[in-house]
Chains A and B, each alone.
Chain A
């Protein structure tokens, strides 16, 4: 009897162990598939030019030519590109944060007749292909002299920041209890003060999520710069990288260095703030409803 039970527990333990091995194997294989391309970019960026013709490719780096990065940086106006990318990203992110949170507060915590209709319309714009509006926007920005400036890339962010962020923030605001707000109202606080001093301080996590999502969005944006800018002075990294590729098709190592210029900042940001990624999605209430 006891022996049987012992057998049963060992077989259970064995099964559990096998399950763990299978789980880790699957996780690791998938993780490698995700990582290999990035690893490949990185080791390629440190190799001498012409390495790409070696066949079969070597997986373990034999060269560490860090000077490739210096050469790549000097081969194009990367300082200008980076400065432009930073300008657009910072101003775009700030605008998204400021205006999506105040709009979301209105949609979540105030009661007025046109609220739900407006919110539904704004939400439905998530499904609109951006190509429907791009030509009139181009004409509009051309009329006011904004083509070949950075304005078209970040000014629109100051108008709500996009439906997704408003939605995310609204879902978060709706979960906050109304009691504090009511107490403040009884004390005679204005709605704006309630927003600024009571609600906003509670929204740190969701603000962080929106900040990170929009940082990545503006940093990585390719379509906007492609359509609204052309001159070297106004190119962002995304667009600069494309021109760099057309010029340096043969220098694969420099090309990879240039890619890293653009990739490293987002990866650093991602590692620094990774917990806000999943949390942002969870608070948006996409989970379940």
Chain B
């Protein structure tokens, strides 16, 4: 091509115009592509990136919605880190997350394994198992309030028939977080479906050859199923952690953070600071600390995942 140009200089113009045309086409392609993805990109700018920048700025100010934000540097962050209520809410959230997410993952996986069995009528069961996840959160929280009720709730009356004295599921500060975790276990259908889809993608031949080698069900689970679905397991754990750190609705409706602040979770604290006390700067700083915590844990998990997540060579 180059020698061509050198030997016949009069074609240089043609090459240049070809390059120009190619560039024009690339620009047109770029604009067309951007036009198609523009709803998503505008949404990103308007409802995510823009608000993030503003939130970061708010977190460095004192702001009550009525008067203009006043710059106070890292004042909010310093205040938060010395705040006992914040530490308590962080502890409550960590407790709920680090005990809850592993249990939720195990329950979701167990459900998916059950629903992946090749037995007649399994589709009916799949429907039943997913039903709790479509139940509106508010409705299910109200329902659990009565199930957990100390005096006439379903659980305590079942225990009573076995001669066990009533437990203050939502009134005992030592137990209430456990109750919240139990409540969350009822709602793992979304993760179950993701597991189920992954299980259906595991090739049958792997199990067959393992059977020929005399592997029992437990070995197959450990040596075939879990490695094969490990990317999905990882996804569910990550999303579980991120969601769990934002636990809010149940505490807001059922216990209002009580008893004795035992269910005062990070986000409930944030909500109150922002929308009840109108400390928008302080609450924004809380939000950024939440984000920071989530990011640190997510990246730790990504780093650790190299050791156990198995990606098929594509």
Contacts and interface: CB of A to CB of B under 8 A. Distances in A.
A242 interface: yes
Contacts of A216: 134
A267 interface: yes
B138 interface: yes
A2 interface: no
Contact of B143 (A134, A140, A259, A286): A259
Interface string A30-41: 110111111011
Interface in B210-267: 228-229, 231-232, 235, 238-239, 242, 245-246, 248-249, 252-253, 267
Interface in A212-245: 216, 219-220, 222-223, 226-227, 237-238, 241-242, 245
B186 A135 contact: no
B139 A263 contact: yes
A219 B136 contact: yes
Per DSSP, are chain B's interface residues mostly helix, strand or loop, or mixed? Answer: helix
Contacts of B106: none
B52 A132 contact: yes
Interface string B26-44: 1001101111111111111
A205 to B, nearest CB: 14
Contacts of A55: 151-152, 157, 160
Interface in A10-59: 20, 23-24, 26-28, 30-31, 33-38, 40-41, 44, 52-57
A139 B267 contact: no
Given A135-B274, A159-B46, A34 B128 contact: yes
A122 B63 CA distance: 29
Nearest to B54: A136
Contacts, number: 281
A142 interface: yes
A278 interface: yes
13 contacts: A38-B135, A38-B143, A41-B143, A99-B39, A103-B39, A106-B36, A129-B294, A137-B47, A156-B43, A159-B39, A238-B136, A260-B139, A277-B193
A267 B186 CA distance: 16
A100 B298 contact: no
Contacts of A259: 138-139, 142-143
A133 B157 contact: no
Given A270-B130, A289-B312, 13 more contacts: A27-B119, A40-B147, A99-B39, A100-B40, A103-B36, A111-B33, A118-B37, A131-B290, A132-B288, A156-B43, A158-B39, A226-B252, A274-B127
Name the interface size band of chain A: 35 or more
Interface string B262-277: 0000010010001100
Contacts of A278: 126, 193, 196-197
Contacts of A33: 186
Per DSSP, are chain A's interface residues mostly helix, strand or loop, or mixed? Answer: helix
Given A57-B152, A135-B283, A289-B231, A227 B111 contact: no
Interface string B286-310: 0110110011001000000000000
B249 A281 contact: no
B314 to A, nearest CB: 8
Contacts of A237: 136
Interface residues of B, number: 98
Contacts of A160: 39-44
Contacts of A252: 146
Interface string A123-156: 0011111111111111110100000000000001
A132 B291 contact: yes
Nearest to B314: A289
A262 interface: yes
A112 B25 CA distance: 11
B287 A131 contact: yes
Contact of A238 (B138, B267, B288, B312): B138
Interface of A: 20, 23-24, 26-28, 30-31, 33-38, 40-41, 44, 52-57, 99-100, 102-103, 105-107, 110-115, 118, 121-122, 125-140, 142, 156, 158-160, 166, 191, 195, 216, 219-220, 222-223, 226-227, 237-238, 241-242, 245, 252, 255-256, 259-260, 262-263, 266-267, 269-271, 274, 277-278, 281-282, 286-289
A159 B42 contact: yes
A128 B48 contact: yes
Given A35-B128, A137-B51, A266 B136 contact: yes
Contacts of B43: 99, 156, 159-160
B41 A118 contact: yes
